[in-house]
Structure 1
Amino acid sequence: MKRLSFALAAALLMAQAAVSHAQSVPGAKDVSRVSGGTYKADPNHTQVLWSVDHMGFSTLHGMFGQITGALTLDPKNPSAAKLTIEAPMKGLAVTSDKFATHVSGNEFLDVAKFPAARFTSTSVDVSGETAKIAGDLTLHGVTKPVTLDATFHGAGVNPMNKAETVGFSATAKLKRSDFGLGAFAPVVSDEVELEIVAAFEK
Structure 2
Amino acid sequence: MKRIPALMLAALLAAAPATVLAQATNDASKVEGGHFTLDKSHAKVVFSVNHFGFSTYYGAFPDLEGTLDFDAKAPAKSKLDVTINVAGLATTNPKLDEHLNSKDFLDTAQFPKATFKATKIDVTGAGKGKITGDLTLHGVTKPVTLDATLHGGGTNPMTKAYVVGFDAKTTLKRSEFGISTYVPAISDDVELVISAEFDRAQ
TM-score, normalising length: structure 1? 0.87
Pairing of 1:89-100 with structure 2 (within 5 A): 89-100=86-97
Aligned to 2:65: 68
Give the Cα separation in 2 of the matches to 1:91 and 1:22.
35
Q: Aligned match of 1:27 in 24, 39, 45?
A: 24
Is 1:199 aligned to 2:181, yes or no? no
Unaligned runs of 5+ in 2: 1-13
Distance in 2 between the 1:72 and 1:130 partners?
Answer: 17
Identity across matched positions, percent: 48
Question: Is the 2:175–2:188 Cα contact (8 Å) retained in structure 1?
Answer: yes
Alignment of 1:140-179 (within 5 A): 140-179=138-177
Q: Distance in 1 between matches of 2:75 and 2:166?
A: 14
1:37 aligned onto 2:29: no
Deviation at 1:35, TM superposition (A): 1.9
The answer to whether residue 90 in structure 2 is matched with residue 123 in structure 1 is no
- Of residues 136, 139, 152, the one that matches 1:138 is 136
Residue by residue over 1:149-169, the C-alpha shift from the partner in whole angstroms, topping out at 9 and shown as x without a partner, is 000000111122221100010
Residue deviations 1:56-78 (CA, integer Å, cap 9, x gap): 11111000012100111111111
Structure 1 unaligned residues grouped into runs of 5+ = 1-16
How has the CA–CA distance of structure 1 residues 130 and 22 changed in structure 2, closer, same or farther, with 3 Å as cutoff? farther
8 Å contact 1:22–1:28 — kept in the other structure?
no
C-alpha contact 1:130 1:151 (8 A) present in aligned 2: yes
Would you say how many aligned residue pairs link Structure 1 and Structure 2? 185
Give secondary structure in 2 for the equivalent of 1:172.
strand
Q: CA RMSD in A?
A: 1.5
Equivalent-residue separation in structure 2 for 1:105 and 1:33 (angstroms): 46
